[in-house]
C-alpha cells in the first residue's frame, strides 16, 4: 500500500484518519505530562492509522472488486490463447511474454485476465468507481512497472501507458530487445 494514494484525489479516508488522530491527540494529551507527550501516544496513533487503513481495505476491497468486475459481465470471457491469437499474433511479441504481461495486469488490478481487452484504459474502465477510495491495484501495477524497468535498465514515460495494449506492447518490446541483446 502506498500512502500517496490517499492524496491522489481520494480524500475521505485520509480526512477520516486525520480527524481520528486529532481527536485522540486532543483527548489523550490535554493533561500535563499526558499520554501524547510521552511518545507512546504518537506510536499508538501510527498503529491505529495503519490498522484502520488495512481494515478498511479488507472490508471494502472485495466489495469494490466485485463492482469493478461486474462492469465487464457483458463481455465474454476469452482464454489466454484466444487473447494472444486475436490481438497479438502478428505483433512480433512472443506468446509467453504477452500472456505474462496480461497476467501481471490482471493480478494487479484484480480483474480476471479473460475479461481484459487491449483497449481497456487504466484510468477509465479499469479504475475503481469510487473517487474517495484509493485504487491500490493501479499503484501495485505502477510498482511492478518500475521494478521491470529497473531490471531491463530502461526508461519509459509513464503517462504514455494508458491502456492494457500500451502496457503489453511497451514492456513486451523492451523484453524482446533485451533478449535479442543477450543472445
Considering the domain architecture, whether residues 65 and 84 belong to the same structural domain is answered as no
- The total number of structural domains in the chain stands at 2
What pTM value is reported for the model?
0.65
Considering the domain architecture, whether residues 58 and 145 belong to the same structural domain is answered as no
Considering the domain architecture, whether residues 22 and 93 belong to the same structural domain is answered as no
Over residues 56-69, the pLDDT tens digits come to: 666 766 665 666 77
With H, G, I as helix, E, B as strand and everything else as coil, classify residue 164: helix
Radius of gyration, CA atoms only, the chain: 21
Over residues 11-30, the pLDDT tens digits come to: 455 666 666 666 666 665 55
Considering the domain architecture, whether residues 96 and 174 belong to the same structural domain is answered as yes
Which domain covers residue 44, as residue numbers? 3-70
Considering the domain architecture, whether residues 66 and 85 belong to the same structural domain is answered as no
> Does the residue 75 lie in any domain?
no
Which comes out higher in pLDDT, residue 134 or 144?
Answer: 144
Of 70, 95, 125, the residue at which a domain comes to its end is: 70
Which comes out higher in pLDDT, residue 113 or 151?
Answer: 113
Considering the domain architecture, whether residues 87 and 168 belong to the same structural domain is answered as yes
Considering the domain architecture, whether residues 58 and 139 belong to the same structural domain is answered as no
Place of cell 512480433: 92
Distance of alpha carbon 8 from alpha carbon 58, whole angstroms:
20
Of 48, 70, 92, the residue at which a domain comes to its end is: 70
Amino acid at each position: 500500500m502506498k500512502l500517496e494514494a490517499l492524496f491522489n484525489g481520494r480524500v475521505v479516508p485520509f480526512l477520516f484518519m486525520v480527524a481520528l488522530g486529532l481527536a485522540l491527540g486532543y483527548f489523550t494529551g490535554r493533561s500535563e505530562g499526558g499520554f501524547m507527550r510521552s511518545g507512546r501516544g504518537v506510536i499508538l496513533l501510527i498503529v491505529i492509522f495503519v490498522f484502520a487503513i488495512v481494515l478498511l481495505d479488507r472490508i471494502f476491497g472485495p466489495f469494490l472488486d466485485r463492482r469493478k468486475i461486474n462492469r465487464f459481465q457483458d463481455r465474454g470471457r476469452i482464454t489466454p490463447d484466444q487473447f494472444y491469437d486475436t490481438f497479438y499474433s502478428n505483433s512480433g511479441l512472443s506468446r509467453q511474454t504477452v500472456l505474462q504481461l496480461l497476467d501481471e495486469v490482471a493480478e494487479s488490478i484484480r480483474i480476471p485476465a479473460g475479461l481484459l481487452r487491449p483497449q481497456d484504459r487504466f484510468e477509465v474502465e479499469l479504475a475503481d468507481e469510487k473517487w474517495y477510495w484509493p485504487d491500490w491495484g493501479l499503484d501495485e501495477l505502477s510498482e511492478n512497472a518500475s521494478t521491470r524497468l529497473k531490471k531491463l535498465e530502461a526508461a519509459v514515460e509513464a503517462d504514455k501507458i494508458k491502456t492494457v495494449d500500451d502496457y503489453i506492447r511497451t514492456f513486451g518490446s523492451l523484453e524482446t530487445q533485451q533478449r535479442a541483446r543477450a543472445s
